[in-house]
């Protein structure tokens, strides 16, 4: 028998543990909330020496991560690739062709959607990727199921010889709950590769057609396998049916339980959400009087179930998102109670916003201060030179006091959209700001395009040497990975210079005047100019130990607020019309000191260096 | 205790709401209860609005809490506590540190921080069980600056029977390691306030 352990785990930790229980051999992904903690957890275990044989590392982007895992699954390793919803768009090219080639050993694709959204540019419903890629998709509803489904996912994947999509949402990834886990298995395989052109080569169209045909056949096998392993469950015996999956199931159960009406309902909880288990659903539809579909984001299950009922010519009322639920935003237990029992939902009162700030001593503060000053020194007004933003912490520069960026779209888009504005004839200078990791992920190709077409833009790469926003993961610039693996760091300057860009400068993000001077100079020049504004992330600096902080001499402080208005640093606070620095928050970056017109801010060394 | 005890923790990122949530979850595990926790975080690493949800007890399906139904609200900051007031109902216990953390809009003079009385009224209109604790000040008094969250937990435990003091202290030790001593001191101090 397996040894069991009872723990309290976050959904993402449970997925990591599930992969280890399944003997996963290769894990890759790109950080993205709410998916990141799966690989974070595995890297931490690797760093502590608790995982030895499994390869686990962050990749440069989701597409590369996907292909790394696909390659691994062709030679016998069970693999896991993780990403947030927009990440599956990046990986969609290999995703869709992988269904035609299939795999040898189990491959799991974790895609974490973010209804709400809490931290994502769209409320994308990645369930539609099942139809698009024709890859089976399973969805757990709790940390315990996240653990079990990860293991089952590998079994199903190997039976079908297809990658399986494990689809989750924030309320499964980031929820913490009780989980019983079994022992981990070391990966146990001998790498082999069997040539099979028809499967692995997409260059012959007749083969592609044939593989498509075979894929469609394979999809018929999914439901029986899912039934065998118990992915879809029917609970209760009432005559009102509810069909749901994922986090929605939890809200349904809670509302029925709390209102003591479990007996009136019969619940079909789907673990397999593509292809839909049609037989199971038909059976269910024939035993209830009406059906309510409870789901988040798009009416995905609803449309498919209505279609099925139509095909079966069943005369049954089916209601779902379209009739009973709000059209956007996260589903909550209140929504379910409202839909089932007609209870009104208490509204939130409207209160002043708390715009999320940059951290105290964030290097992006200095870059934005410099950018602002540089633009005005070059003879333009702040607010007339578009600053195209990108995905990362620096997008918080949209908030006061900077209100810096004009767009934030998709990974790498800052540079290509800036180029688009220029080739369309936009007269004012255009600036693109992009973080180091986002630059590696997708900015490089955009920069090559801009250089090749000789467009007039200024690109500021904000290099804080980490993937900060998602919790400080490694970038291709690392020489040692978080797991302790030795890496070949790539050099940002060399990459940029190798493109033949003449004007490339590296500036210190914590010296806002240095940034400003370069911005001024470069805005007057033609062609693509690149400023690498470098400064370590404040969180990392704090982790490795703060050596100094700043404090305010209240005798000198006039309360002019220049420091707050220019830096926006959250460590600065107002006390009796003067400024005081929260010592526990300050990271001693000196940006406030650099702008205080009265020299009221002073450095205090915490320890000698 | 009720079948399910649910807590909303509202505060500003960096005030220790997430640590508090982990401590309560761990104490519940040690007490043989089911737990569920979740949070609404937003994009900032620190300084943004943060809400954590915790449920402990039996048959926990999800940490999300229905509006008006929380057993307790721990307010680490008054504006954020008021923002979470939709979870408060007549029987909700609210423990609150009324000391404000101004927003960047306040600091840059674009907007005034709402009068504290107004924020308290929002909560008082929902429940008569509002307990004001000057947690940050009390923490400073006992030289445990970062433990305002523990002071509020202490207060909550002293007015409501959610978990035993021993299990909570055990959990503080496990979650905080060598920082546990100060936190336990603050927790005990909070129970006396
Ligand atoms: S030195 Fe000034 S700007 Fe930098 S972290 Fe401290 S208070 Fe903030
Ligand atoms: S800039 Fe200097 S004088 Fe003005 S408020 Fe800040 S510390 Fe005081």
A478/chain B closest Cα distance in angstroms: 22
Angle ∠(A494,A27,A176) on CA atoms, nearest 5: 115
Report the nearest-CA residue for atom 6 of ligand 1: A586
Asked if the model's pLDDT at residue B73 lies above 60, the reply is yes
Q: What is the pLDDT of residues A480-518, one digit of tens each?
A: 999 999 999 999 999 999 999 999 999 999 999 999 999
Q: What is the pLDDT of residues A41-92, one digit of tens each?
A: 999 999 999 999 999 999 999 999 999 999 999 999 999 999 999 999 999 9
Query: Which of B34, B37, B43 shows the shortest C-beta gap to A175?
Result: B37
Query: Which of A334, A539, A573 shows the shortest C-beta gap to B45?
Result: A539
A137/chain B closest Cα distance in angstroms: 22
Q: Which of residues 64-103 of B touch A (CB under 8 A)?
A: 64-68, 79-80, 82-83, 85-86, 102-103
Cα-based distances in Å from A481 to A433, A435, A440, A485 = 26, 19, 16, 5
Task: Provide the pLDDT confidence category of residue A262 given band limits of 50, 70 and 90.
Answer: very high
Residues of A in contact with B43 (CB under 8 A): 119, 356, 393, 395-396, 469
Per the CB < 8 Å rule, is A584 touching B145?
yes
Cα distance between residue A466 and residue A483, in whole Å: 15
> How close is the Cα of A585 to the center of ligand 1, in Å?
8
Cα distance between residue B20 and residue B9, in whole Å: 8
Complex prediction ipTM: 0.93
What is the arithmetic mean of pLDDT over B110-135? 96
Instruction: Assess whether the region A4-227 and the region A363-541 belong to the same CATH fold.
Output: yes
> How close is the Cα of A568 to the center of ligand 2, in Å?
13
Measured from the CB, is residue A557 less than 6 Å from ligand 2?
A: yes
Per the CB < 8 Å rule, is B47 touching A357?
yes
Per the CB < 8 Å rule, is B109 touching A333?
no
Q: How far is CA A269 from the centre of its chain?
A: 27
Q: For chain A, give every domain's residue range.
A: 4-227, 232-340, 363-541, 545-605
CATH of domain A363-541: 3.40.50.970
Measured from the CB, is residue A550 less than 6 Å from ligand 2?
A: no
Ligand 1, closest atom to CA A365?
3
Give the chain B residue nearest A572 (alpha carbons): B107
Cα distance between residue A506 and residue A503, in whole Å: 10
Contact at 8 Å (CB) between A171 and B62? Answer: yes
Per the CB < 8 Å rule, is B109 touching A178?
no
Cα distance between residue A69 and residue A30, in whole Å: 12
Per the CB < 8 Å rule, is A119 touching B38?
no
What is the arithmetic mean of pLDDT over B36-41? 88
CATH of domain A4-227: 3.40.50.970
Measured from the CB, is residue A600 less than 6 Å from ligand 2?
A: yes
Instruction: Please choose, from the candidates A535, A511, A524, the residue with its C-alpha nearest in 3D space to the C-alpha of residue A590.
Output: A511
CB-side exposure of A394: number of CA atoms within 13 Å?
A: 41
* pLDDT, position A1: 43
Asked if the model's pLDDT at residue B1 lies above 50, the reply is no
Cα distance between residue A143 and residue A145, in whole Å: 5
Instruction: Please choose, from the candidates A173, A576, A568, A550, the residue with its C-alpha nearest in 3D space to the C-alpha of residue A364.
Output: A568
What is the arithmetic mean of pLDDT over B94-110? 92
* pLDDT, position B160: 94
Measured from the CB, is residue A581 less than 6 Å from ligand 2?
A: no
Please tell me the total count of domains within chain B. 1
Cα distance between residue B3 and residue B70, in whole Å: 13
> How close is the Cα of A589 to the center of ligand 2, in Å?
16
In chain A, what percentage of residues exceed pLDDT 90? 90
Residues of A in contact with B29 (CB under 8 A): 8, 178
- Among all bound ligands, the one having the nearest atom to the CA of A361 is 1
* pLDDT, position A472: 86
Q: Which fold has domain A545-605?
A: Alpha-Beta Plaits (3.30.70)
What is residue A315's three-state secondary structure? Answer: coil
Per the CB < 8 Å rule, is A257 touching B59?
yes
* pLDDT, position A608: 62
Give the chain A residue nearest B21 (alpha carbons): A176
Decide which of A19 and B178 is more confident. Answer: A19
What is residue A243's three-state secondary structure? Answer: strand
Q: What is the pLDDT of residues A454-474, one digit of tens each?
A: 999 999 999 988 888 888 888
Task: Provide the pLDDT confidence category of residue A346 given band limits of 50, 70 and 90.
Answer: confident
**Any A CB within 8 A of B115 CB:** no
* pLDDT, position A332: 95
> In this structure, what token pair is assigned to residue A165?
């999509």
Give the CA-trace dihedral at B65, B69, B74, B79, to 10 degrees: 90
- Residue B33's CATH number: 3.40.920.10
* pLDDT, position A348: 82
- Among all bound ligands, the one having the nearest atom to the CA of A582 is 1
Measured from the CB, is residue A551 less than 6 Å from ligand 2?
A: no
> How close is the Cα of A587 to the center of ligand 1, in Å?
6
Per the CB < 8 Å rule, is B44 touching A395?
no
Average pLDDT, chain A: 95
B191/chain A closest Cα distance in angstroms: 25
Query: Which of B12, B45, B122 shows the shortest C-beta gap to A349?
Result: B122
Q: Cβ of A457: how many Cβ atoms within 10 Å?
A: 23
- The residues facing A10 across adjacent strands are A176
What is residue A344's three-state secondary structure? Answer: coil
pTM as predicted? 0.95
Measured from the CB, is residue A593 less than 6 Å from ligand 2?
A: no
Contact at 8 Å (CB) between A443 and A450? Answer: no
Ligand 2, closest atom to CA A601?
7
Query: Which of B35, B67, B122 shows the shortest C-beta gap to A178?
Result: B35
Cα distance between residue A108 and residue A81, in whole Å: 6
* pLDDT, position A2: 57
Average pLDDT, chain B: 93
Per the CB < 8 Å rule, is A333 touching B63?
no
* Of the listed ranges A106-120, A227-241, A289-303, A457-471, the one predicted with least confidence: A457-471
**Residue from B57, B62, B137 to probe the interface with A (highest A Cβ count within 10 Å):** B62
Q: Class for domain A232-340, per CATH?
A: alpha beta
Residues of B in contact with A118 (CB under 8 A): 40-42
Asked if the model's pLDDT at residue A607 lies above 80, the reply is no
Q: What is the pLDDT of residues A561-584, one digit of tens each?
A: 999 999 999 999 888 889 999 988
Residues of B in contact with A247 (CB under 8 A): 62
Cα distance between residue B86 and residue B64, in whole Å: 13
Query: Residues lining ligand 1, CB < 6 A?
Result: A 360-361, 550, 567, 569, 571-572, 581, 586-592
Q: Which of residues 122-141 of B touch A (CB under 8 A)?
A: 122
> How close is the Cα of B108 to the center of ligand 1, in Å?
16
Residues of A in contact with B60 (CB under 8 A): 177
Cα distance between residue A55 and residue A378, in whole Å: 50
Choose one of A561, A572, A595 to mutate for the ligand 2 pocket test, by most ligand atoms within 8 angstroms of C-beta: A561
Per the CB < 8 Å rule, is B34 touching A177?
yes
Cα distance between residue B169 and residue B185, in whole Å: 10
């Amino acid at each position: 028998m397996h040894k069991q352990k009872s723990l309290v785990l976050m959904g993402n930790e449970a997925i990591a543990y599930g992969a280890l229980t399944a003997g996963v051999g290769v894990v890759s992904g790109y950080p993205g909330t709410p998916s990141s903690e799966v690989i974070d957890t595995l890297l931490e275990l690797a760093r502590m020496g608790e995982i030895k044989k499994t390869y686990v590392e962050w990749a440069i982007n989701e597409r590369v991560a996907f292909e790394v895992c696909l390659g691994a699954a062709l030679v016998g390793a069970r693999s896991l690739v993780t990403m947030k919803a927009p990440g599956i768009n990046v990986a969609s090219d290999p995703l869709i062709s992988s269904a035609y080639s299939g795999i040898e050993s189990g491959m799991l694709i974790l895609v974490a959607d973010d209804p709400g959204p809490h931290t994502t540019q769209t409320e994308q419903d990645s369930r539609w990727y099942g139809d698009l890629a024709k890859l089976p998709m399973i969805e757990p509803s709790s940390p315990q199921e996240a653990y079990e489904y990860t293991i089952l996912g590998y079994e199903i994947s190997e039976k079908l010889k297809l990658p399986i999509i494990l689809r989750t949402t924030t309320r499964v990834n980031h929820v913490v709950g009780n989980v019983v886990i079994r022992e981990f298995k070391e990966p146990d395989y001998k790498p082999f590769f069997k040539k099979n052109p028809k499967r692995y080569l997409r260059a012959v169209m007749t083969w592609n057609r044939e593989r498509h045909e075979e894929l469609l056949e394979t999809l018929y096998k999914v439901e029986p396998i899912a039934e065998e392993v118990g992915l879809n469950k029917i609970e209760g015996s009432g005559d009102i049916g509810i069909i749901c999956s994922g986090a929605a199931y939890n809200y349904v159960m809670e509302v029925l339980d709390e209102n003591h009406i479990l007996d009136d309902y019969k619940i079909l909880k789907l673990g397999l959400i593509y292809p839909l288990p049609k037989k199971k659903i038909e059976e269910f539809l024939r035993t209830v009087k009406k059906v309510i579909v409870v789901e988040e984001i798009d009416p995905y299950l609803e449309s498919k179930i209505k279609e099925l009922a139509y095909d079966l010519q069943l005369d049954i009322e089916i209601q779902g998102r379209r009739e009973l639920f709000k059209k956007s935003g996260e589903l909550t237990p209140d929504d379910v109670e409202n839909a089932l029992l007609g209870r009104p939902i208490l509204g939130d009162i409207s209160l002043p916003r708390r715009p999320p700030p940059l951290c105290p001593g964030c290097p992006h503060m200095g870059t934005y201060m410099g950018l602002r000053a540089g633009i005005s020194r070059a003879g333009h007004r702040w607010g007339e030179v578009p600053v195209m933003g990108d995905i990362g912490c620096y997008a918080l520069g949209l908030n006061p006091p900077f209100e810096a960026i004009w767009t934030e779209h998709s990974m790498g888009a800052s540079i290509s959209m800036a180029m688009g504005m220029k080739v369309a004839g936009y007269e004012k200078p255009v600036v693109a700001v992009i973080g180091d990791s986002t630059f590696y992920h997708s900015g490089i190709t955009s920069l090559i395009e801009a250089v090749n077409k000789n467009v007039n833009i200024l690109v500021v790469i904000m290099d804080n040497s980490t993937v900060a926003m998602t919790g400080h993961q490694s970038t291709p610039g690392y020489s040692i990975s978080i797991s302790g693996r030795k890496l070949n760091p790539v050099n940002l300057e060399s990459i940029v210079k190798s493109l033949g860009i003449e004007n490339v400068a590296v500036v210190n993000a914590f010296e806002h005047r240095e940034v400003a001077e370069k911005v001024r100079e470069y805005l007057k020049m033609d062609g693509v100019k690149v400023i690498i504004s470098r400064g370590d992330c404040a969180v990392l600096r704090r982790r490795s130990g703060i050596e100094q902080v700043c404090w305010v001499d209240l005798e000198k402080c006039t309360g002019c607020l220049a420091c707050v208005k220019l830096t926006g640093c959250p460590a600065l606070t107002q006390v009796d019309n003067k400024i005081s620095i929260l010592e526990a928050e300050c990271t001693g970056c000196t940006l406030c000191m650099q702008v205080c017109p009265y020299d009221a801010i002073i450095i205090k060394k915490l320890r000698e260096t | 205790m009720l079948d399910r005890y649910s807590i909303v923790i509202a505060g500003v990122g960096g005030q220790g709401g997430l640590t508090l949530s982990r401590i309560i979850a761990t104490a519940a595990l040690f007490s043989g209860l089911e737990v569920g926790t979740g949070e609404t975080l937003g994009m900032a690493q620190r300084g943004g609005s943060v809400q954590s949800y915790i449920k402990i007890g039996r048959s926990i399906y999800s940490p999300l809490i229905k509006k008006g139904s929380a057993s307790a609200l721990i307010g680490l900051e008054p504006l954020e506590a008021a923002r979470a007031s939709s979870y408060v109902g007549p029987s909700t216990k609210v423990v609150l540190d009324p000391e404000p953390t101004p927003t960047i809009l306040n600091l840059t003079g674009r907007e005034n921080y709402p009068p504290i009385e107004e924020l308290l009224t929002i909560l008082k209109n929902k429940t008569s069980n509002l307990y004001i604790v000057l947690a940050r000040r009390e923490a400073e008094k006992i030289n445990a600056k970062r433990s305002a969250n523990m002071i509020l937990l202490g207060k909550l435990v002293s007015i409501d029977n959610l978990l035993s003091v021993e299990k909570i202290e055990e959990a503080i030790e496990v979650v905080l390691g060598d920082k546990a001593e100060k936190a336990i001191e603050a927790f005990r101090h909070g129970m006396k306030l």
